[in-house]
Amino acid sequence: MTRAAVLTAIGAPLRVTGIELPDPGPGQVRVRIAAAGVCHSDLSLANGTLRQPVPAVLGHEGSGTVTAVGEGVTHVAPGDEVVLNWAPACRDCHFCRIGEPWLCAESLTPTEPYATLGGDGTPLHPALGTAVFAEETVVRAAAVLPLPAGVPLTDAALLGCAVLTGYGAVHHSARVRAGESVVVVGVGGVGLATVRSARLAGAGQVIAVDVSPEKEELARSCGATDFVPAGDDAVARVRELTGGHGTDVAIECVGRPETIRTAWTATRRGGRTTVVGVGGRDQRVAFSPLELFHSGRTLAGCVYGNTDPARDLPVLAEHVREGRFDLSALITRRIGLDDIPDAFDAMLAGRGGRSLVVF
């Protein structure tokens, strides 16, 4: 029996209870979870913004130790420390073949139930195929990445989503160049990783924008040169800090129409706006044809940072080992399974960076 945070119905509170996991089958791996980050996408799954069959075990940003492998699994073995990848690429679909594995047509296909509820045998779905809000999980072998040496196992959980996403948004989507100015709208876990990654890319000025003034110190500790409170005058403040032009690059990490507009309008003419945040299906952002023409800006979506974890994880691990990327700086609370609802409330209120469930 394994303890897990179970979503019994969309909108219902999480229930921490026992679940039964099977032994790993062919092409599967069982992992004892060391830590799991609480991401806004988990909240979006819980409240129905993102579709999720229920009942389900949430959590997709995790690290742990392999306890068993199924037939045909050779790249990891029991005892190996690993990072979970919630969007493993098939390497064979159209997008994978053209070198865009982050858009893999198979990575987010609906998953079959993977476990059962203790006591009554109700089938449980693994959210985003990983289900790391649990002491142990069973996943596809492709979802398991060996953790490079020298990276702390618990903090490494953030590499599975927040850090890969923020790093990729900077290096692969926005393609920030040395000396450029960057504004990051929303500095939760992903936003803080984006700030740090912008400085790694050599950005000369990194402006953090957030609704919570308490995040200024946190953002500056991750490399922000300036902090602007979110609000009606945020764009004007950003333009004041950039000689009236706006920033070369804006990266939006919230996923709301108003924050996307803030990022877009804060971008200079000819600049680049990247949207990382995940919004609702029914929300709309409007642009006039004239402003699209006149601004000359580029607007781009960004899925999982446009990363290939197999390629980018070793690069990030080297930054961690060399002290250029402090994973612990992104973590504002270390909590237990029972504290996840409080972490959801903190995200809704715009408080803190990343909450990390430590087992």
- pLDDT at position 248, please? 98
Q: Is residue 178 part of a domain?
A: yes
Residue 234 lies in a domain: yes
Q: What is the arithmetic mean of pLDDT over 226-239?
A: 96
- Categorize the per-residue pLDDT at 260 as very low, low, confident or very high, splitting at 50, 70 and 90: very high
> Do 103 and 239 lie in a common domain?
no
Is the pLDDT confidence value at 271 over 80? yes
Residues 142 and 6 in one domain: yes
Alpha helices per DSSP H over 201-339: 215-221, 234-241, 257-266, 289-295, 309-321
117-121, 228-232, 248-252, 319-323: least confident range: 117-121
How is 90-119 classified by DSSP, letter by letter? -SSSHHHHTT-GGG-SSTTSPPPP-EEETT
Question: Across the chain, what does the average pLDDT equal?
Answer: 94
Residues 215 and 268 in one domain: yes
Co-location of 286 and 222 in the same domain: yes
Which pLDDT band holds residue 171 (cuts at 50, 70, 90)? very high
- Residue 264 token pair: 């877009």
Q: 309 lies in a domain? A: no
Residue 352 has pLDDT above 90, yes or no: no
Number of helices and strands in the chain (H, E):
10, 18
Per-residue pLDDT at 109 exceeds 80 = no
> Which of 1-15, 31-45, 86-100, 343-357 has the least mean pLDDT?
343-357
Is the pLDDT confidence value at 280 over 90?
A: no
DSSP assignment, residue 134?
B
Q: Name the pLDDT band for 279 (thresholds 50, 70, 90).
A: confident
351 in any annotated domain: yes
Last residue of a domain, one of 288, 303, 318: 303
Q: Is the domain of 131 the same as that of 209? A: no
For residue 96, being part of any structural domain is answered with yes
Domain that holds residue 221: 166-303
Structural domains in the chain (count): 2
Q: How confident is the model at residue 49 (pLDDT cuts 50, 70, 90)?
A: confident
Q: Which of 263, 288, 303 is the last residue of a domain?
A: 303
Kindly report the number of other CB atoms within 10 A of residue 220's CB atom: 15
Local confidence band at 241 (pLDDT 50, 70, 90 cut-offs) = very high
What type of residue sits at position 172?
H
CA pair distance 158, 275, nearest whole angstrom: 20
Query: Helix or strand or coil: residue 356?
Result: strand
- Average pLDDT, stretch 94-104? 95
Q: Are 305 and 102 in contact (CB under 8 A)?
A: yes
Instruction: Tell whether 152 and 175 lie within a shared domain.
Output: no
pLDDT of residue 107: 83
Percent of the chain with pLDDT over 70: 100
Of 75-79, 104-108, 245-249, 325-329, the least confident: 104-108
Residues in the chain: 359
Question: In terms of domains, do 195 and 109 share one?
Answer: no
Q: What is the DSSP letter of 359?
A: -
pLDDT of 347 over the 90 cut:
no
C-alpha pair distances (Å), 272 with each of 118, 159, 241: 50, 25, 18
Confidence of residue 119 (pLDDT cuts 50, 70, 90): confident
Residue 158 has pLDDT above 80, yes or no: yes
Instruction: Look up the CATH number of the domain holding residue 232.
Output: 3.40.50.720
Examine the domain organization and report whether 97 and 172 are in the same domain.
Answer: no
| Residue closest to 184 by CA, chosen among 145, 222, 233 | 222
Q: What share of the chain is helix, strand, coil (3-state, %, to 5)?
A: 30, 25, 40
Q: Cβ distance 58 to 4 under 8 Å?
A: no
CATH number at residue 339: 3.90.180.10
Interval 147-157 mean pLDDT:
95
On whether residue 213 sits in a domain, the answer given is yes
Cβ neighbours around 209 below 10 Å, total: 31
Residues 264 and 337 both lie in one domain: no
CA atoms of 71 and 25, how far apart (whole Å): 7
Predicted local confidence at residue 2, as pLDDT: 95
Q: Are strands 2-7 and 136-140 parallel, antiparallel or unpaired?
A: unpaired
The answer to whether residue 268 sits within a structural domain is yes
Residues 154 and 172 in one domain: no
Residue 46 inside a domain? The answer is yes
- Other CB atoms closer than 10 Å to residue 280's CB: what's the count? 14
Question: 150 and 7, same structural domain?
Answer: yes
Same domain, yes or no: 147 and 191:
no
Which amino acid is located at 212 in the chain?
S
